[in-house]
Amino acid sequence: MLDNLAKFTNLKRDISEINIDPLQRGGILTPEARAALVEWGDGYSVCDFCGGMLDRIKNPPIEEFVHGVLPEFLGTDEVRITHGAREGKYAAMHALCEKGDYVVIDGNAHYTTVLAAERAGLKIEYVPSSKEPSYSISAQGYADAIERAYEQKGNVSMAVLTYPDGNYGNLADAKAVANVCHDYGVPLMLNGAYAIGRMPISARELEADIIVGSGHKSMAASGPVGVLGASEEYARTIFRLSPTKKNKEVELLGCTVRGAPLLTLMASFPAVVERIKAWPEEIEKARWFSCEMEKMNMVQLGDRPHNHDLMFFLAENLYEISQTAKKGRYFLYRDLKERGVSGIKPGLTRQFKLSTFGLSREMLQKVLGAFEDIINSY
Amino acid sequence: MLDNLAKFTNLKRDISEINIDPLQRGGILTPEARAALVEWGDGYSVCDFCGGMLDRIKNPPIEEFVHGVLPEFLGTDEVRITHGAREGKYAAMHALCEKGDYVVIDGNAHYTTVLAAERAGLKIEYVPSSKEPSYSISAQGYADAIERAYEQKGNVSMAVLTYPDGNYGNLADAKAVANVCHDYGVPLMLNGAYAIGRMPISARELEADIIVGSGHKSMAASGPVGVLGASEEYARTIFRLSPTKKNKEVELLGCTVRGAPLLTLMASFPAVVERIKAWPEEIEKARWFSCEMEKMNMVQLGDRPHNHDLMFFLAENLYEISQTAKKGRYFLYRDLKERGVSGIKPGLTRQFKLSTFGLSREMLQKVLGAFEDIINSY
């Protein structure tokens, strides 16, 4: 087994020219991040000049990035680097909630929010969405869920809103949700994995207490890396110091991203700040794309008009084709790939999500052309 | 603050030709890993062909690496990829121990073992080392520590041995420690962050139940990435599936290293397997280096003869120089850097650690020459 290992080297990424997987659109490296990867690739390279705290390293200027720039960028008091959004959610839950407590989670939440709660030993009370076609999450739903947890004599120690969610790209009224949660004295955590780095967002403006983001999902960084922000009140507990090891934050196990991904996050950051300014055009492009898809009888679910690049489509026509097509439900994956488009999961036809983020209208026209071509060819 | 961001791009790693920091010696990328970084740099690139479990991805061949190759390499039943050794230690403690339990830890343990225990809410009973000059850890010390915990009515649910430790590079008799722990029904976790990827090691041969390693520290990988291995008995609990989310392992929050560091770990792996075969020469080189340092009146502490490339030196002569040298205790850092050597922490003179791993005798002769030159110049 340990003799034939060459297969693990020289692996190529076999992917189409256009990748519309929402997971991949916001994580494409900038040239600056690519250069950072090469420069800082070695093992623990960022630690050469560390005095004991990752976020206090002055060369490279991690301290300025983490303590100066990121809190302003996220609109929060304190920020730390994490391995990603899920690790940030777990850290916050683990620090702020007691085993057996309730956490209230929107019904559109990413599975990792559920896993973070399960890992922290928390019970979950869901805020159901309005179901098809809008799948919206209401502020009132949070009040109802908190009340239901109370009826079970539960202690609700956190609420989470996925903003936007990763299925429909819906942006709920976060501020209204925060207000409801605060009426009950419950802190609100925003999962901004699909927001931070794509669109303007401020925890303070939305009155969220905690916010997590993902470098690899939406900040043009190499994974795994993320950000965790919190208001002073909660930061104190989440980022508490070890009672025995000087300057080491317990919840972060001292330090988190001791490697190149952090440097890619920093290197891409100026470009990320720039691209967020073009968010209105991104929305416009997404709406146009959605409209063109609907002309081909595929229906966009979720918020309408849509406010995000991540969109969910219902395609009965593609499903019908799959019933008789060669390779069955894998036809769509194959046919799109033949036309230079990837990112819709193999086997999906009736419903799928995609993202238009960072793709030019010309590229998106190619995607639309591929769908049209496929539909017409059966 | 968000206007002047160019400083975060184009950052260069300002490091000397020879870096003797033990943290850095084992993490230098192979050319294959460097190529993998570039090819797989984008965000979540490894997830293009994921069916829901990172460790089951067939293209790139992560499944074969994680489930086929690594268990054999580590001599254990089950392996998963983690963000690093500390995250592996925490995952194992969090999964296997109850809050308030005791964990028995060697007195030479890395600070992250303590943080992992603190984060998991565990009490710590230390196995003290024999102190200067050998700082050795005995198997009997584990029995004594477990007994002390029992006297306090504690439940001892894990023991940890740092193998080797990161201060002295000592390799304790792990098998004897395992036997003592097993006599008490306590599982033993080996922290192999400085072993796995440098020297031959098998959890099974040492009778360790759990083992963690670090990709960025010793496996020529870009951080953060590590490995966590466990025997079937404990793997079942550590890698338990979510009761609600199909195929997702709770303790790993579904998946861990969803990015390029994992691909660098794989790309370097054939070279890592090769370099381990040269371990006897690495030891010989370390012993020769230690001997040459002692000729200059610096004393190597820890195991003698030494069995690892990481070594700790006591240098009263350098300390004396620091009392009158310009820049005081920072003279050594500056003077070594002027001679092309970095890796000893700024400000240290009287005692410091270094590593000879992967450096040729010619390079090490340069290091020795630099020390000699500095000593003679005052």
Can you read off the two tokens belonging to residue B176? 């004897």
Q: Is the distance from CB of A54 to CB of A211 less than 8 angstroms?
A: no
> A13 vs B216: CB contact, 8 Å cut-off?
no
Whether B250 and chain A come into contact, CB under 8 Å, resolves to: yes
Whether A39 and chain B come into contact, CB under 8 Å, resolves to: yes
Chain B residues with CB under 8 Å of A10 CB are 32, 35, 267
Determine the distance in angstroms separating the CA of B183 from the nearest CA of chain A, rounded to an integer.
30
**Which helix (DSSP H) or strand (DSSP E) does residue B226 occupy?**
strand B226-230
Whether B344 and chain A come into contact, CB under 8 Å, resolves to: no
Chain A CA closest to residue B240: A119
Whether A29 and chain B come into contact, CB under 8 Å, resolves to: yes
Angle, CA B234 vertex, CA B233 and CA B237 arms, to 5°? 110
Nearest to A282 by CA among A231, A234, A346, A218: A218
Q: In sequence order, which residues have a C-beta less than 8 Å from that of residue B236 and are 6 or more positions away?
A: none
Ordered alpha helix ranges (H), B243-307: 260-277, 279-295
Q: State how far the Cα of A193 lies from the Cα of A265, in Å rounded to an integer.
A: 14
Residues composing chain B: 378
Identify residue B23 by its one-letter amino acid code: L
Determine the distance in angstroms separating the CA of A259 from the nearest CA of chain B, rounded to an integer.
4
Whether B113 and chain A come into contact, CB under 8 Å, resolves to: no
pLDDT in tens, B27-84: 999 999 999 999 999 999 999 889 899 999 999 999 999 999 999 999 999 999 999 9
Over residues B185-208, mean pLDDT = 98
- Rounded to 10 deg, the angle between the B31-39 and B260-277 helix axes is 170
**Own/partner pairs for B141-148, CB < 8 Å, 24+ apart?**
B141/B106, B142/B104, B142/B177, B142/B180, B142/B181, B143/B180, B143/B183, B143/B184, B145/B104, B146/B104, B146/B180, B146/B181, B146/B184, B146/B186
Q: State how far the Cα of B13 lies from the Cα of A31, in Å rounded to an integer.
A: 17
pLDDT at B222: 97
User: DSSP letter at A127?
Assistant: E
Can you read off the two tokens belonging to residue A175? 């501020």
Chain A residues with CB under 8 Å of B12 CB are 39
Q: State how far the Cα of B363 lies from the Cα of B351, in Å rounded to an integer.
A: 22
Q: State how far the Cα of A190 lies from the Cα of A326, in Å rounded to an integer.
A: 44
> A9 vs B267: CB contact, 8 Å cut-off?
yes
Q: Is the distance from CB of B84 to CB of B197 less than 8 angstroms?
A: no
Q: Is the distance from CB of B69 to CB of A4 less than 8 angstroms?
A: no
Name the residue among A32, A64, A254 with its Cβ closest to that of B86. Answer: A254
Q: State how far the Cα of B8 lies from the Cα of B269, in Å rounded to an integer.
A: 32
Chain B CA closest to residue A15: B48
Q: Reply yes or no: is the peptide bond before residue B305 cis, omega within 30 of 0.
A: yes
Q: State how far the Cα of A36 lies from the Cα of B203, in Å rounded to an integer.
A: 36
Q: What percent of chain B has pLDDT over 70?
A: 100
Chain B residues with CB under 8 Å of A73 CB are 2
pLDDT at B367: 98
Identify residue A371 by its one-letter amino acid code: F
Q: State how far the Cα of A213 lies from the Cα of A211, in Å rounded to an integer.
A: 7
Whether B43 and chain A come into contact, CB under 8 Å, resolves to: yes
Q: Is the distance from CB of A196 to CB of A214 less than 8 angstroms?
A: yes
Chain B CA closest to residue A41: B222
- Decide if pLDDT at B16 tops 90: no
Determine the distance in angstroms separating the CA of B93 from the nearest CA of chain A, rounded to an integer.
13
Chain A CA closest to residue B116: A253
> B39 vs A11: CB contact, 8 Å cut-off?
yes
Q: Is the ipTM of this complex over 0.90?
A: yes
- State how beta strands B310-314 and B299-301 pair: antiparallel
Per-residue pLDDT 10s for chain A (378 aa) are: 788 999 999 999 988 889 999 999 999 999 999 999 999 999 999 998 898 999 999 999 999 999 999 999 999 999 999 999 999 999 999 999 999 999 999 999 999 999 999 999 999 999 999 999 999 999 999 999 999 999 999 999 999 999 999 999 999 999 999 999 999 999 999 999 999 999 999 999 999 999 999 999 999 999 999 999 999 999 999 999 999 999 999 999 999 999 999 999 999 999 999 999 999 999 999 999 999 999 999 999 999 999 999 999 999 999 999 999 998 999 999 999 999 999 999 999 999 999 999 999 999 999 999 999 999 999
Q: Is the distance from CB of A92 to CB of A147 less than 8 angstroms?
A: no
Q: Is the distance from CB of B312 to CB of B22 less than 8 angstroms?
A: no
Name the residue among B35, B48, B224 with its Cβ closest to that of A259. Answer: B224
* Residues paired with A226 in a beta bridge: A82, A214
What separation in angstroms does the CA of B196 have from each of A179, A207, B158, B215? 51, 46, 21, 9
Measured torsion, CA atoms of residues B326, A50, B344, A37, in degrees rounded to the nearest 10: -120
> B11 vs A61: CB contact, 8 Å cut-off?
yes
Nearest to A101 by CA among A77, A129, A120: A120
Q: Secondary structure of chain B in the HEC alphabet? A: CCCCCHHHCCCCCCCCCEECCHHHHCCCCCHHHHHHHHHCCCCCHHHCCCCCCHHHCCCCCHHHHHHHHHHHHHCCCEEEEECCHHHHHHHHHHHHCCCCCEEEEECCCCHHHHHHHHHCCCEEEEECCCCCCCCCCCHHHHHHHHHHHHHCCCCEEEEEEECCCCCCCCCCCHHHHHHHHHHCCCCEEEECCCCECCECCCHHHHCCCEEEEEHHHHCCCCCCCEEEEECHHHHHHHCCECCCCCCCEHHHCECCCCCHHHHHHHHHHHHHHHHHHCHHHHHHHHHHHHHHHHHCCCEEECCCCCCCCEEEEECHHHHHHHHHCCCHHHHHHHHHHHCCEECCCCCCCCEEEEECCCCCHHHHHHHHHHHHHHHHCC
Whether A48 and chain B come into contact, CB under 8 Å, resolves to: yes
Q: State how far the Cα of B228 lies from the Cα of B93, in Å rounded to an integer.
A: 12
Report phi then psi at A18, rounded to 5: -110, 120
Q: In sequence order, which residues have a C-beta less than 8 Å from that of residue A132 and are 6 or more positions away?
A: A301
Chain B residues with CB under 8 Å of A8 CB are 61, 65, 69, 266-267, 269-270
> B115 vs A250: CB contact, 8 Å cut-off?
yes
Q: Which residue is listed with tokens 């970084």?
A: B37
Whether A257 and chain B come into contact, CB under 8 Å, resolves to: yes
Chain A residues with CB under 8 Å of B244 CB are 114, 118
pLDDT at B179: 98
At residue B213 the predicted structure's pLDDT band, cuts being 50, 70 and 90, is very high
Contacts across the A-B interface (CB distance below 8 Å): 277
pLDDT at A49: 86
Chain B residues with CB under 8 Å of A273 CB are 2, 5
User: DSSP letter at B80?
Assistant: E
> A48 vs B21: CB contact, 8 Å cut-off?
yes
Question: What spatial distance separates the first Cα and last Cα of chain A, rounded to whole Å?
Answer: 47
Q: Which of A86, A119, A237, A253 to mutate to test the interface with B (most CBs of B within 10 A)?
A: A253
Chain B residues with CB under 8 Å of A269 CB are 5, 8
Whether B5 and chain A come into contact, CB under 8 Å, resolves to: yes
- Decide if pLDDT at B93 tops 90: yes
B residues 87..106 contacting A (CB < 8 A):
87, 90, 94, 99
At residue B3 the predicted structure's pLDDT band, cuts being 50, 70 and 90, is confident
pLDDT in tens, B327-373: 899 999 999 999 999 999 999 999 999 999 999 999 999 999 999 99
Chain B residues with CB under 8 Å of A224 CB are 83, 224, 256-259, 261
> B83 vs A270: CB contact, 8 Å cut-off?
no
Q: State how far the Cα of A209 lies from the Cα of A211, in Å rounded to an integer.
A: 7
pLDDT at A3: 84
Residue B287 CB coordination number (10 Å):
17
Name the residue among A1, A222, A266 with its Cβ closest to that of B8. Answer: A266
Whether B371 and chain A come into contact, CB under 8 Å, resolves to: no
Nearest to B150 by CA among B119, B185, B118: B185
Q: Which of A42, A70, A225 to mutate to test the interface with B (most CBs of B within 10 A)?
A: A42
Residues composing chain A: 378
3-state secondary structure of B193: coil
Chain A residues with CB under 8 Å of B59 CB are 14
Nearest to A42 by CA among B41, B345, B264: B264
Ordered alpha helix ranges (H), A42-171: 62-63, 70-74, 85-96, 111-119, 139-151
